[in-house]
Amino acid sequence: MDYKDLIATNLSECTGLDKEQVLGLIEIPPKLELGDYAFPCFVLAKTLHKAPPMIANELKDSPELVKGFDGAVTVDTAGPYINFRIDKGILAKSVISEIIEAGDQYGNKNIGEGKNVIIEFSSPNIAKPFHVGHAFTTILGNSLSNIYSRLGYNVIRFNHLGDYGTQFGKLITAYRLWGDEAAMQENPIDELTRIYVKFHDECKVSSEREKELEDTARDNFRKLEEGEPEEVALWKRFRDLSLDVFEKTYKRMGIRFDNYNGESFYSSRIDSVVNMLEEKGLLEESEGAKVVKLDDEGLPPCLVVKSDGTTIYASRDLAAILYRHEEFNFYKNIYVVGLPQQLHFKQVFAVLKKAGYDFADDCVHVGFGLLKFKDNTAFSTRAGNIIKLDEFLDKATEKTAEIIRKNSELRGGDMTDEQIAQVSEVVGLGAVTYTYLKSGREKDIYFDWSDMLDFEGDTAPYLIYTYARIKSILRKAADQGLTGSVENADKLTAEDEYAVIRSLADFNDAVIKAAESYEPFMISRQIALIARNFNRFYNNSRILNADSDEIRDARLKLCEAVADCLKSGLDMLGIGVVEKM
């Protein structure tokens, strides 16, 4: 039974407020003594012309308010608040039963049924290294995709590859001059980077050399745009080889995409966008270029066609939104792209809105901060300290393996090398993922190895360790023929037990809030709380040799419910679990 939902339904009936609004207003009181949920009556004061405490008192006595409570919820007031207290035993039994039934799918809903949500994330530029800077969009986008799918939306995962632009004219030129086929097979991105850098170095030799190279590059790009087979074949090869490399990393991280339409895909659709804007009288000449003025929106003009007639990034994004709407009639079109591109998206959405496409309002830019070292240097290509994501992941799993090996040795060496490697891959990648998702996304992350791998801290290793620990208790119980029972779960009303149950009950809400605000950290924060509450309970209570068989069986089910919920929450973040570590 979802008591919060029932309370909201009743409150909505009594007050005439929308249920959604009521749900948004319901608070969790700061102290457990005040009850489980509180409704502040301030909003009603204006319409009812009464003081909030008086409204609270009158509502409290309304029979409508307690419909269906059947003694499970008691109502009280404290000043302007109506407080609701759920019977601890009834709550315990209801929450544990609900989780055991849902298993590791706890938190799922069907609120998104029949709605298409496009989530665009990762979107690296081909022929360039996939570095730690790309990890944020990749990890955040993957988590949001998981969360929206779990809420029943039909999620379409887009990877808007940066696979177009004048730089491909340069790459084709450079490849013909200096490309090394063997190196290309061996490590395509390194080789493409090498020749791209060489192109720029050669340009510095003399202005004649620069002109010659730039002219050839421009010519090659033009041929590519006109669909000349040789240039197209080379470009396609660069793209395929790059994608192979990216896909290896995605696979390792358990990430997949439904659609790899990159910028090149939309280039053929730009003419119709330009015509449409022209017809609607929105395009204006500005220093030879064509722009859409956005003064009314308080934004700088959006550049659509450059003065040399070539199209740019923004026009490809305009074409992409129109395509996506046509093809998927999206309920939401979400862009997981760094905050530096905020203005770009504001402009693109504003142009569409101006052109009369109301679905511009369903487009959302989900921005995020930077990953920085604790010494404050941001990872960036230009700073020359590129850290490839794969190497970063390798290092994380290596460091994790050291810790896991040491722990195993302390227990007399109970893990094989293979087990250590398997566990370290899950825990190491989990540690990286969690680092990106444990705080609000717009904050910069200050990265530090020992924080990230602290088995006692706010980390994935701590959460996975808690999960594995529960699994080991459950295995031990099973060896004794015990699987637990929810029958007497209403006896779990001690303070430590209640804290665990309360935090498990709030998980549902955290998932919905995470989706609404595009903040997976609402989930990471909740499961971290559950794990801490569980470990406190575990340290203070006996499970297998509890005072009675009833309590033992109920506690075993509580353990199982915590494991299910942790697994579910971690999976939403894109983090796996291990059964033993």
Beta carbon nearer to ligand ARG, 157 or 525: 157
C-beta of 77: minimal distance to ligand ARG in Å? 51
Phi, psi of 52 (to 5 degrees): -55, -40
Beta carbon nearer to ligand ARG, 294 or 334: 334
Beta carbon nearer to ligand ARG, 128 or 252: 128
Residue entry with tokens 């996304």: 441
C-beta of 86: minimal distance to ligand ARG in Å? 45
539: tokens are 């340290």
Beta carbon nearer to ligand ARG, 92 or 270: 270
What's the rounded Cα separation, in Å, for the pair 378 and 456? Answer: 27
C-beta of 62: minimal distance to ligand ARG in Å? 51
Residue entry with tokens 């203005």: 343
C-beta of 328: minimal distance to ligand ARG in Å? 15
Helix axes 417-437, 460-479, angle to 10 degrees: 130
Beta carbon nearer to ligand ARG, 26 or 337: 337
**Which stretches of 407-563 are assigned E, i.e. beta strand?**
445-447
What's the rounded Cα separation, in Å, for the pair 95 and 1? Answer: 8
The SS3 of residue 73 is strand
C-beta of 162: minimal distance to ligand ARG in Å? 3
Residue entry with tokens 């994790």: 400
Beta carbon nearer to ligand ARG, 100 or 337: 337
**Sites for ligand ARG among residues 112-131 (CB under 6 A):** 120, 123-125
Residue (of 290, 360, 295) closest to 324 by Cα position: 360
Under rule CB under 6 A, residue 264 binds ligand ARG: no
C-beta of 452: minimal distance to ligand ARG in Å? 25
Beta carbon nearer to ligand ARG, 54 or 378: 378
Beta carbon nearer to ligand ARG, 160 or 332: 160
C-beta of 308: minimal distance to ligand ARG in Å? 21
25-34 CB burial, b ≥16 within 10 A, e <16: bbeebeeeeb
Beta carbon nearer to ligand ARG, 84 or 335: 335
C-beta of 382: minimal distance to ligand ARG in Å? 13
C-beta of 120: minimal distance to ligand ARG in Å? 6
What's the rounded Cα separation, in Å, for the pair 282 and 505? Answer: 52
Per CB under 6 A, the list member of 191, 225, 231, 317 interacting with ligand ARG is: 317
Beta carbon nearer to ligand ARG, 334 or 415: 334
What's the rounded Cα separation, in Å, for the pair 192 and 181? Answer: 11
3-state SS string over 500-544? HHHHHHCHHHHHHHHHHHCCCHHHHHHHHHHHHHHHHHHHHCCCC
DSSP 281-332: T-EEEETTEEEE--GGGT-PPEEEE-TTS-B-HHHHHHHHHHHHHHHH--SE
C-beta of 132: minimal distance to ligand ARG in Å? 13
Sheet holding 302-305, edge to edge: 283-286, 289-292, 302-305
What's the rounded Cα separation, in Å, for the pair 484 and 501? Answer: 17
Under rule CB under 6 A, residue 335 binds ligand ARG: yes
**Sites for ligand ARG among residues 154-193 (CB under 6 A):** 160, 162
Helices (DSSP H) in 119-228: which residue ranges? 135-150, 167-178, 181-186, 188-203, 207-225
Beta carbon nearer to ligand ARG, 368 or 538: 368
Beta carbon nearer to ligand ARG, 317 or 519: 317
How many residues bind ligand ARG (CB under 6 A)? The answer is 9
Residue (of 22, 91, 161) closest to 506 by Cα position: 91
When CB distances to ligand ARG are compared, the closest residue is: 162
C-beta of 301: minimal distance to ligand ARG in Å? 18
Under rule CB under 6 A, residue 337 binds ligand ARG: yes
C-beta of 377: minimal distance to ligand ARG in Å? 20
Site map for ligand ARG, 275-314, x if CB under 6 A? ----------------------------------------
Q: What is the largest CA-CA distance in the chain?
A: 90
Residues in contact with ligand ARG by CB under 6 A are 120, 123-125, 160, 162, 317, 335, 337
